[in-house]
Amino acid sequence: MQVEAVMTSPVVGIEPSASIADAAKLMLSRKISGLPVIRSDGALVGIVSEGDFLRRGELGTKRQRSRWLEFLVSPGKVADEYVHANGRRVEEVMSDGVVTTTRDASLEDVVELMTRHHVKRLPVVEGGRVVGIIARSDLLRALLRVLPISASSGIADEQIRQNIVTELAGQIWSGTSMIHVNVDEGIAELSGAIFDERQRLAARVAAENVAGVKAVTDHLFCAEPLSVILVS
């Protein structure tokens, strides 16, 4: 799936010269946690988010350091923190150097960028102009659209069992699987041995995601690797 399919467009943005009060009001009224900062010519110059308003002098939340620690911090960093705590215009508190994406980028690429740069939203840029924005909430809506609403019906129990076995066999965490599967009227029963409790939940999830499964019962037991004797 590509960005264009899930991004929000047109974009709600704000100009650099706008007041932080206007930015805060806009975010609250639109129920969004961040705004791209866009010049009148459409160029992206930054992004302002709720996080930029955390350290404010008015709230008594600006960063405090002990006197001796102040000597270890560069004057430039202290000056930057002062601007963020006291600035009145969006351009004074926004984050620049914005991480962006494109319409044709994959959602996998988007998640990788969000994770690597610790950001919650990415402006979508085309020809130097912002054409959309993709946020975590857009990914959540995309997930909701593709999740199955209810279990499929009309699939034979044996076919369901084979599909679960195939799914387990394809997972590296299952190793040489000692998990046995039985299916009766869409109810999948898992039995046998696992060697790590985390495999239990993974096996349940694997079974639950197979079409036709109505519920999963777990009779797996966890054993130390050397305590299981295989009898052929």
Q: How many CB atoms lie within 10 A of CB 96?
A: 10
Q: How many CA atoms lie within 13 A of 72 on its CB side?
A: 5
Which range of residues forms the domain containing residue 11? 3-146
Domain assignment present for 60 = yes
Q: Do both 184 and 89 map to the same domain? A: no
Tell me which residue of 204, 142, 141, 143 sits closest to 171, measured CA to CA.
204
Rounded CA gap, 98 and 107, in Å? 18
pTM: 0.71
Tell me which residue of 218, 206, 142 sits closest to 174, measured CA to CA.
206
Q: Do both 169 and 135 map to the same domain? A: no
Q: Do both 162 and 117 map to the same domain? A: no
Query: Which of 102-106, 153-157, 223-227 is most confident?
Result: 102-106
Q: Do both 119 and 170 map to the same domain? A: no
- In total, how many domains does the chain have? 2
Q: Do both 127 and 175 map to the same domain? A: no
Domain assignment present for 47 = yes
pLDDT the model gives residue 44: 94
Q: What is the pLDDT of residues 6-23, one digit of tens each?
A: 999 999 999 999 999 999
Q: Do both 142 and 177 map to the same domain? A: no
Residue % of the chain over a pLDDT of 90? 65
Q: Do both 108 and 176 map to the same domain? A: no
Q: Do both 108 and 45 map to the same domain? A: yes
The answer to whether 203 and 190 have CB atoms below 8 angstroms apart is yes
Q: Do both 108 and 161 map to the same domain? A: no
pLDDT exceeds 50 at position 231: no
pLDDT the model gives residue 79: 87
